[in-house]
Amino acid sequence: MAKEIYVVLDNVRSAFNTGSIFRTSDAAGITKLYLCGITPYPPHLKLQKTALGTLDTVSWEHCLSSIEIVKKMKDERIPVISVELDDRAVPFNEFSYPNKMCLVMGHELMGVNQEILDISDQIVQIPMHGMKNSLNVAVSYGIVIYESINNGNGKRN
């Protein structure tokens, strides 16, 4: 059974990160990518550099408000999973990802909007072991999206 995965980029500011997320989204076979707030969207020229042709292969939509999309997902009973360093978060590789879900990635410096975190069904985080406590948003997305499609068992569900 193929997973139905919606991804919300909550004010991701870098066109290069967004382009990289397009590429990873294509490779992972996500259902739809929502580019919200200040997140760059096509036909932004810098996106093409890292997206490498996936702007045409990934279903996407630009939205002014991340919270509106997240609330829409909640109204449709789609579980919302935010990726954020948070006291309520569980390790990303210990969570059992549902077959239908909305994954939220946040701003490179400020993270996921607090209002979204407050209504998320789950918050997951990538444990940090170094001096800095964060990864690039595109790298974090790649780690979590592949865990979510494989559910930690090495097989796509």
The full set of domain ranges for the chain reads 4-150
Q: How does pLDDT run across 103-157, given as a tens digit for each residue?
A: 999 999 999 999 999 999 999 999 999 888 889 999 999 999 999 998 754 443 3
Kindly state the percentage of the chain with pLDDT values over 90.
Answer: 87
Looking at residue 21, what is its pLDDT? 98
Per the prediction, the chain carries an average pLDDT of 93
pTM: 0.94
Higher-pLDDT residue of 134, 27: 27
3-state secondary structure the chain: CCCEEEEEEECCCCHHHHHHHHHHHHHHCCCEEEEECCCCCCCCHHHHHHHCCHHHCCCEEEECCHHHHHHHHHHCCCCEEEECCCCCCEEHHHCCCCCEEEEEEEECCCECCHHHHHHCCEEEECCCCCCCCCCCHHHHHHHHHHHHHHCCCCCCC
Question: Which of the two residues, 63 and 134, has the higher pLDDT score?
Answer: 63
Domain 4-150: which CATH number of 3.20.20.70, 3.30.930.10, 3.30.470.20, 3.40.1280.10: 3.40.1280.10
